[in-house]
Amino acid sequence: MTVIEKIEKLRFLMKEHGFKMYLINSSDPHSSEYTASHFKTREYMSGFTGSAGTLLVTMDKAYLWTDGRYFIQAAQQLDGSGITLMKQGEKDVPSILEFLAKNIDEMKNEDGSVALGFDPKTVSRSFYEKLCEKDPGFCTIDVPPDTDLVDKIWTDRPPVRFTPVFELETEYTGKTRADKLRELSEKLELGENDIFVISALDEIAWLLNIRGSDVKYTPVALSYLIIRKDRAELFICDYALDEKLRQELSADDIEIKPYESFYEELERAGNESNGGKMFFDKDTLSYGAYCCYGKGSADTSAYKAIRSPIVLMKALKNDTECENIRKAHIIDGIAVTKLIYALKTGYKGRHSELTELHVAYMLDELRRKGDCYLYQSFEPISAYGEHAAIVHYSADEESNARLDDKGFLLLDTGGQYKYGTTDITRTIALGELSEEEKKAYTAVLKGNLRLAAVKFKKGCSGVNLDVLARQPLWEMGLDFNHGTGHGVGYCLGVHEGPQGIRMRDQSPVPFEAGMLTSDEPGVYIEGKFGIRLENLMLCVPCDDDLLCFETVTVVPFDRDAVIADDLTQEDKKLLNDYHLAVYEKLSPYLTEEENEWLRKETAPF
């Protein structure tokens, strides 16, 4: 079935259900960034495979919103679909909220109610409230809890998949489950009949020290959690837990209930609340779950919207986690460096024997040899030549390019280890480079080094620091259309809040010691090449009132792509210091031949 045919079927169902517009986002009932195959409804309906995007279908048109990471990819994948690409953040392009508000009259029924449809289990309460702020008319929306129209079209939809859950021991987490629950309880101060509802999978996994594989690349288990004053209820697949883990959870006053009973239990809790409140994070709790508690009681005193304390708790890595993160990056650095060595020496002059997918496979095989490796932390980006200009390019059998002995290969990859989560990008010169390629690489490198070296006052956020990574590119009239840095979880999501490094941020969060963040400036010349250089950095104390970053990624940059005369003396010192640390940390684990190559690769400029 083509995209055009799917959308026509959707319009038939919309008319049947009385909807004049239907919205399909990229999320699941847990507001996850990356979702299990069963929940990829926007991808199925539009053909666009990027991780971020929102599809809006009207009775005669269709639109898809996505951000700058995916503009090129989306334009290619939407070609011929009849879907109009809406480039978020571009001049004269309204946001999805602005578009809906502007066109609200087209959605109104004769009684004044708004006929906007969506799956209420995948739309956050926050999105609904923002809609109502744009126009109070959206408060009249009435969407039944089972309104998943895509499910009626997607006849071969993958089933919801549950995998075995395992416990992450305190030698990795640094804190017991009981300690975390106690700390959370102190922050919440729940009353006798209050509950705190958690649907975010990474929050549940971190809080309970459990991990799973229900979502590809992210070690989480499909679950919900209700926290009460003196106990908790975990809604999870019954056969995912072995008896030992079940008993250990019970010992910490956690009752196990079936995953599919969550909405029923939430409705019961609302009906039996006896004046208690439901505490929830509106950014992660779905509109459907909100309405389920007391059947969406008009009595707003029954609800208490808060920012989940777990967001910051898990972002501030403890001493044990920080030590393990350093260990994970040495293990990861060995694998990535061995691959670069093979590409620069073993395949020198015969890169045409390799393809993009082959290189990604080679790297995963090297990672698998590392201690406590689980699997990749996201779909690997292996992009040669002009493919690298597509920020989140993903090779498949059709696009899979064969390499050559010239130009750049961009590798953006990562691993999930019990010691932590890694995310690294290296752009590798496979042979002859143009002057344009070298100058661009050197500018990106300077931005990476300068951001990593900054010292800053406590209270600063990524908005204050972003310019350091972009300035060398701005001086050349270049820029990149994505954030400079994102938080990273501990054996969890490769993208984690609340901190980030970007030019514009509606709610910037100050850095604190223990936060793990990426540093990844880049430049993308459509039809030619793309360059990105990414390290991960731990935020650490630096003098009384200052913080700084400790770079934990240990993989050399490509000296063949650097124009030394474009580096200042300070740039050279930063690069030399970094390369010295790379050599000292990796050399004990490499062969004699690899060490000799690395010694030359990291020699001082």
Give per-residue pLDDT as tens, 138-157: 988 888 878 999 999 999 99
Residues 6+ apart with CB under 8 A from 111: none
Distance CA 256, CA 168 (A): 18
pLDDT of residue 261: 95
Q: Which residue, among 338, 356, 376, has the nearest Cα to 530 in the 3D structure? A: 356
pLDDT of residue 302: 84
Distance CA 335, CA 407 (A): 23
185 with 148, same domain? Answer: no
pLDDT band per the 50, 70, 90 thresholds, residue 274: confident
Q: State whether residue 22 is helix, strand or coil.
A: strand
Task: Report if residue 255 sits inside a domain.
Answer: yes
Task: List, in sequence order, every residue forming a beta bridge with 82; answer none if it has no partner.
Answer: none
Distance CA 456, CA 466 (A): 12
Residue written as tokens 């793990």? 516
Task: Report if residue 252 sits inside a domain.
Answer: yes
Distance CA 373, CA 217 (A): 12
Q: State whether residue 383 is helix, strand or coil.
A: strand
Task: Report if residue 322 sits inside a domain.
Answer: yes
87 with 210, same domain? Answer: no
Task: Report if residue 161 sits inside a domain.
Answer: no
User: What does pLDDT average to over the chain?
Assistant: 95
Picking from 261, 293, 310, the residue at the C-terminal end of a domain is 310
- Domain harbouring 85, CATH code: 3.40.350.10
369 with 446, same domain? Answer: yes
589 with 542, same domain? Answer: yes
Q: Nearest 5 degrees, angle CA 262-CA 215-CA 538?
A: 110
247 with 346, same domain? Answer: no
144 with 18, same domain? Answer: yes
The arithmetic mean of pLDDT across residues 513-533, rounded, is 97
Q: Which residue, among 431, 436, 439, 422, has the nearest Cα to 534 in the 3D structure? A: 422
148 with 200, same domain? Answer: no
429 with 549, same domain? Answer: yes
Give CA separation, 205 vs 37, 172, 395, in Å.
20, 13, 31
pLDDT of residue 298: 56
13 with 143, same domain? Answer: yes
**pLDDT tens sequence across 357-401:** 999 999 999 999 999 999 999 999 999 999 999 998 889 898 999
Q: Which residue, among 390, 391, 388, 309, has the nearest Cα to 356 in the 3D structure? A: 388
Is the overall model pTM greater than 0.75, yes or no?
yes
Q: Count other C-beta atoms under 10 Å from residue 545's C-beta.
A: 10
Distance CA 230, CA 181 (A): 10
Report the relative pairing of strands 496-501 and 485-487 from DSSP bridges: antiparallel
The arithmetic mean of pLDDT across residues 264-283, rounded, is 88
Q: Which residue, among 242, 223, 245, has the nearest Cα to 234 in the 3D structure? A: 223
Q: State whether residue 374 is helix, strand or coil.
A: strand
- Diameter of the chain measured on Cα atoms: 79
Per the structure, the complete domain to which residue 577 belongs is given by 316-601
138 with 201, same domain? Answer: no
**pLDDT tens sequence across 217-261:** 999 999 999 999 999 999 999 899 999 999 999 999 999 999 999
Q: State whether residue 387 is helix, strand or coil.
A: helix
pLDDT of residue 297: 52
CB 602 within 8 A of CB 579: yes
Picking from 96, 122, 152, the residue at the C-terminal end of a domain is 152
Q: Is the pLDDT of residue 510 over 60?
A: yes
CB 221 within 8 A of CB 212: yes
Task: Report if residue 505 sits inside a domain.
Answer: yes
426 with 303, same domain? Answer: no
Edge to edge, the sheet with strand 21-24 lists: 84-87, 62-66, 54-58, 21-24, 116-118
Backbone angles phi, psi at 599, to 5 degrees: -60, -40
411 with 391, same domain? Answer: yes
Give CA separation, 111 vs 115, 134, 172, 196, 296, in Å.
11, 20, 58, 36, 21
pLDDT of residue 520: 98
- Domain harbouring 549, CATH code: 3.90.230.10
Report the relative pairing of strands 381-384 and 373-376 from DSSP bridges: unpaired
pLDDT of residue 89: 86
Task: Report if residue 160 sits inside a domain.
Answer: no
pLDDT of residue 295: 58
Task: Report if residue 246 sits inside a domain.
Answer: yes
Picking from 310, 340, 368, the residue at the C-terminal end of a domain is 310
Give CA separation, 558 vs 340, 444, 529, in Å.
9, 12, 16
Task: Report if residue 157 sits inside a domain.
Answer: no
Tally the domains of the chain: 3
- In terms of Cβ atoms closer than 10 Å to its own Cβ (0-12, 13-18, 19+), residue 365 is exposed
